[in-house]
């Protein structure tokens, strides 16, 4: 059994396929019922092994990603870290160095860019491709149709914009969209959550998620605010 799981996915499939074909063929012939039952049992075992192989491959890939992220994080000095739903992208914040690092894992390397706090222009919360909340150098704007429901603000926010009626109350994807003072790479999107089924914005699960997202939005709002204070002093 250990030898089987050491093989790659294609080899496992090629090993099981002829066995299942022979067993399936036997079932069409007139044979003793005990033989048919034995064939069915072996086929069920083969299906289990095939399913286990798929799960084992997914777990192995996830472990590789986690180890790669941990290894990269160990090489960086940071206070806060936020990762995408698939762990392939992330954002790190270093308070002392005043650095925001964006990174993306590839097959062979980690591509990262260090931005100074002053390079951060805007951060938007994107729900299903619609901008719900924007934190920028021009202030905080909340599209109250979603922002109020998510954060319990009720639209009572200074500078709140008109409600965006195109935003659905059932959300399938949440992401943060960053704008940096970088002509070559001004935009960086970090997809935080992808749901198989749309999640109601008023559900307990979504409220818990949004509490964490709100905390991160406030962190970036503080960074932008401090930048503006330093610019005013200078």
Distance CA 63, CA 144 (A): 40
DSSP 3: H
The pLDDT tens digits for 28-59 are 777 777 877 887 788 777 777 766 666 555 55
Long-range CB pairs of 9-18 (<8 Å, 24+ gap) are 9/53, 9/54, 9/57, 12/49, 12/50, 12/53, 13/50, 13/53, 16/46, 16/49, 16/50
pLDDT at residue 139, as a whole number:
59
More confidently predicted of 195 and 4 = 195
Can you read off the two tokens belonging to residue 56?
Answer: 């084992």
The pLDDT tens digits for 141-185 are 544 334 444 444 333 232 333 334 344 578 888 999 999 999 999
Are the C-beta atoms of 145 and 151 separated by less than 8 Å?
no
Can you read off the two tokens belonging to residue 152?
Answer: 């319990």
Question: Quick one: 112 exposed, middle or buried, by C-beta within 10 A (0-12, 13-18, 19+)?
Answer: middle
pLDDT over 60 at 130, yes or no: yes
More confidently predicted of 195 and 188 = 188
pLDDT at residue 119, as a whole number:
95
pLDDT over 90 at 234, yes or no: no
> If you average pLDDT over residues 195-201, what whole number do you get?
82
HSE of 133 in the Cβ direction (CA atoms, 13 Å)?
26
pLDDT at residue 36, as a whole number:
74
Residue whose pair of structure tokens reads 């590789």 in the numeric block: 64
What does the chain come to in residues?
Answer: 234
Confidence of residue 140 (pLDDT cuts 50, 70, 90): low
Q: How many distinct helices (H) and strands (E) make up the chain?
A: 5, 9
DSSP 97: T
Residue whose pair of structure tokens reads 């936020």 in the numeric block: 82
Quote the pTM value. 0.62
């Amino acid at each position: 059994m250990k030898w089987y799981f050491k093989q790659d996915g294609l080899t496992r499939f090629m090993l099981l396929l002829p066995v299942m074909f022979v067993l399936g063929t036997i079932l069409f012939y007139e044979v003793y019922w005990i033989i048919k039952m034995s064939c069915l049992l072996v086929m069920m075992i083969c299906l289990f092994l095939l399913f286990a192989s798929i799960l084992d491959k997914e777990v192995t890939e996830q472990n590789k990603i986690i180890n790669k992220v941990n290894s990269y994080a160990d090489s960086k000095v940071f206070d806060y870290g936020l990762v995408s739903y698939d762990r392939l992208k992330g954002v790190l914040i270093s308070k002392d160095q005043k650095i925001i690092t964006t990174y993306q894992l590839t097959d062979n390397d980690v591509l990262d860019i260090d931005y100074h706090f002053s390079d951060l222009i805007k951060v938007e919360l994107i729900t299903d491709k619609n901008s719900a909340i924007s934190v920028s150098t021009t202030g905080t704007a909340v599209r109250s149709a979603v922002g109020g429901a998510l954060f319990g603000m009720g639209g009572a926010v200074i500078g709140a914009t008109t409600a965006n009626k195109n935003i659905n109350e059932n959300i399938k994807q949440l992401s943060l969209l960053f704008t940096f003072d970088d002509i070559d790479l001004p935009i960086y999107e970090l997809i935080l959550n992808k749901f198989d089924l749309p999640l109601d914005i008023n559900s307990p699960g979504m409220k818990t998620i949004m509490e964490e997202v709100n905390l991160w939005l406030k962190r970036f709002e503080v960074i932008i605010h401090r930048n503006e204070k330093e610019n005013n002093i200078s």
